[in-house]
Amino acid sequence: MTNVLITGATGNVGAEVIRSLGKLEHSLRMTAAVRDPKRERPSAMGPAIGMVALDLTDRTTYAPALKGCEILFLLRPPAISDVKKYFAPFIAAARNERVKHIVFLSVQGVEKSRIIPHHRIEQLIVDSGIPYTFLRPAYFMQNFTTTLRRDLVERQRIFLPAGKARFTLIDVRDIGAVAAQVIVAPHAFVNRSLELTSEAPMGFQEMADELSRALGTTIQYRSPSLLRFILDQRKDGTPLAMILVMIMLHYLPRFQQEPAVTDEVRAITGSAPITFAQFVEDHEAQLR
């Protein structure tokens, strides 16, 4: 029986990986890595899934968590950006514990951007010699039910400095479905990078129009100047680190080539990727 360790099991993507694996026939032994097993239990977990303590800021947890692990699903906690301090020793520990395959949740376009942590983490994994699969998803639709939800629900607006830039999108359910297929048959995806997108790019005005139609209310899209956006976010109490991430996600694409649409989701899962309209319909209660 192959041992699989899933990090970020309490987050959106980790939970979807667990749910998707639960829908497939396999003989994997799954373990969820959480910071405190006594207090945390991922909602998607059934009783057959084990738990182990893993805190990437605490090196003493690395080896015990990785012991016996053969396939590692790895994602970067948003609060951890110091790759050299935390991920370099963690990847070294994975090599020492003889992990056979790493499935890493990266981001679309990472190969062109050396400033984001995922670029350096990918390089660490490649240099480790451990076989890998990099999942490079597009812009998360679930941003509307998390970081963008407050503006959407309380102010009926999307307030981002994205201009007329168009984005490829992805639902985290599709990320989980692809990840599950890779984990079940890693030999078919050795040392591959998979860009995961829906089938049509959209601008934020188009997203606002779709939200307005589905929710029965007018959702305005406003693209402020960079200074106005920063001041507005600071007024709302958004941490500076998060503001910088939002600028990177929404402002910089204005000056970059529109990201490509791929058919990886359909090719790997056998199903068409979830559309933005379907995402809105499925999450209507959260978006109101």
pLDDT of residue 79: 79
Residue 46 pLDDT: 59
Q: How many domains does the chain have?
A: 2
pLDDT for the residue numbered 40? 65
pLDDT digits (tens, 9 = 90+) for 67-114: 999 999 999 988 788 899 999 999 999 999 999 999 999 999 888 877
Q: Would you say residue 40 lies in a domain?
A: yes
Domain assignment present for 114: yes
Residue 223 and residue 184 in one domain: no
CA distance 137 to 179: 11
Q: Is residue 265 part of a domain?
A: no
Write b or e for each residue in 241-268: b if 16 or more Cβ atoms lie within 10 A of its Cβ, otherwise e. eebebbbebbbebeeeeebebbebbeeb
| Cβ 90 vs Cβ 56: under 8 Å | yes
pLDDT score of 42: 56
For 242, the token pair is: 């998060």
For residue 175, what are the domain limits?
3-136+171-196
Question: Could you tell me if 21 and 156 lie in one domain?
Answer: no
Structural domain contains residue 224: yes
| 158 and 31 both lie in a single domain | no
Mean pLDDT of the chain: 93
Beta strands, E only, 97-228: 101-105, 132-137, 139-140, 157-159, 166-167, 169-170, 192-196, 202-203, 220-222
Q: What is the pLDDT of residues 135-186, one digit of tens each?
A: 999 999 999 999 999 999 999 999 999 999 999 999 999 999 999 999 999 9
64 and 159 together in one domain? no
CATH number for the domain spanning 243: value is 3.90.25.10
In terms of domains, do 26 and 67 share one? yes
pLDDT tens profile 28-67: 999 999 888 877 665 555 556 888 999 999 999 999 999 9
Which residue reads 């990727």 in tokens?
273
In 147-191 the beta strands, taken as DSSP E runs, fall at 157-159, 166-167, 169-170
12 and 102 co-located in one domain: yes
Task: Verify that 211 and 125 share a domain, yes or no.
Answer: no
Does 264 reside within a domain?
no
pTM for the full model? Answer: 0.94
Let me know whether 152 and 186 are in one domain.
no
CA–CA gap between residue 89 and residue 104 (Å, rounded): 16
